[in-house]
Structure 1
């Protein structure tokens, strides 16, 4: 399992199609046919990483958009991105 850090570059896996459903997002894997649902914050993260960004950039965008403490934001973001990485929803590149 890849260790994520603030400088890790992350982007959506282009093999997933997605659509907004009210304030949430639904993802469909074109290869496996599995659906995933993202809550409003998860959908916001997905919108942020349509183009490659570092995790720190995504964190800063969340802090600008939502009323959340930095530590809580980082913890929850890393947890979400780790899960998305394990499921193949995102592509990860270590930024040297």
Structure 2
């Protein structure tokens, strides 16, 4: 389970391409393309190396007009989804 204290990083099991304000990711293990909307793309591009989830949340709150609890819930859901697809790794 991912929490605010978790540290995430991209795996080497994907390649991505920026398309305007969105991102398309190809999962190399499953051969499936995944699309991220502008906020998802912001999160994906923010993950450079090891990044604490709390830092990602703070960056989103600075960039977008969103309530803190909504931001946290949506961020954790997206990260769990990316983890399930093998696109990110988590360290505690």
8 Å CA contact retained: 2:10, 2:47: yes
Alignment RMSD (CA, Å):
0.9
Once the two structures are superposed, residues 48-88 of structure 1 have per-residue CA deviations (whole angstroms, 9 ceiling, x without a partner) of 11221111000000001001110110010011111111111
Residue pair 2:25, 2:34 contacting (<8 A) in 1 also: yes
Q: Quick one: distance in 2 between partners of 1:21 and 1:65?
A: 19
State the partner residue of 1:7: 5
SS for the counterpart of 1:27 is strand
Give the CA deviation at 1:32: 2.5
Number of the residue aligned with 1:51: 49
Please give the TM-score of this superposition, normalised by the length of structure 1.
0.90
Structure 1 residues not aligned, in runs of 5+: none
Q: Runs ≥4 in structure 1, deviation > 6 angstroms?
A: none
Q: Give me the whole-angstrom Cα distance separating, in 2, the residues matched to 1:45 and 1:54.
A: 12
Aligned pair count reads 92
2:23 paired residue number: 25
Any stretches of 5+ residues in structure 2 without a counterpart? none
SS of residue matched to 1:7:
coil
